């Protein structure tokens, strides 16, 4: 067996959580910009893949070069190592103030919200 039942259950939960957050709560649309924090984690990696499948431009943050590479391999259009770079400035430069940005943070309250609601963006 290539996958143990517990691993299979965790896989389902990660994708289900990201699917619900992106499509039911945020109503992500084709062409929008999706900012995914912790993109190398379980829910974050699912959000990257589901965002790309929905036609969004995906920007992912992660801590360290290995995790940034994981985000890139998952399909993120832009990856930012938040330990090395100010992700706020990087997102501003990459989007040129384009509307339609969504902010995805796996964990905590308010998992997905429009970026304009964030103070620094």
Residue spans of the domains in the chain: they are 5-116
Query: Is the distance from CB of 34 to CB of 58 less than 8 angstroms?
Result: yes
| Mean pLDDT to the nearest integer, 85-98 | 85
Cβ neighbours, 10 Å, residue 2: 5
What is the band of 115 on the pLDDT scale with cuts at 50, 70, 90? Answer: very low
Please write the tens of the pLDDT for every residue from 40-88. 999 999 999 999 999 999 999 999 999 999 999 999 999 999 999 998 8
Sequence-separated (6 or more) residues with CB below 8 Å from residue 116: 101
Handedness of CA 83, 86, 87, 91 (dihedral sign): negative
Q: pTM (2 decimals)?
A: 0.82
The verdict on domain 5-116 having CATH code 3.40.50.720 is: yes
């Amino acid at each position: 067996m290539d996958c143990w039942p517990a691993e299979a259950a965790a896989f389902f939960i990660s994708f289900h959580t990201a699917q619900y957050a992106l499509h039911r709560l945020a109503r992500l649309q084709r062409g929008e910009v999706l900012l995914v924090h912790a993109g190398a984690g379980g829910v974050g990696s699912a959000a990257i893949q589901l965002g790309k499948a929905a036609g969004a431009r995906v920007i992912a943050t992660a801590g360290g070069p290995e995790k940034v590479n994981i985000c890139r391999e998952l399909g993120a259009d832009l990856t930012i190592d938040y330990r090395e770079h100010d992700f706020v400035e990087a997102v501003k430069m990459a989007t040129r103030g384009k509307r339609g940005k969504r902010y995805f943070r796996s964990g905590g309250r308010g998992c997905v919200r429009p970026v304009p609601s964030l103070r620094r963006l």
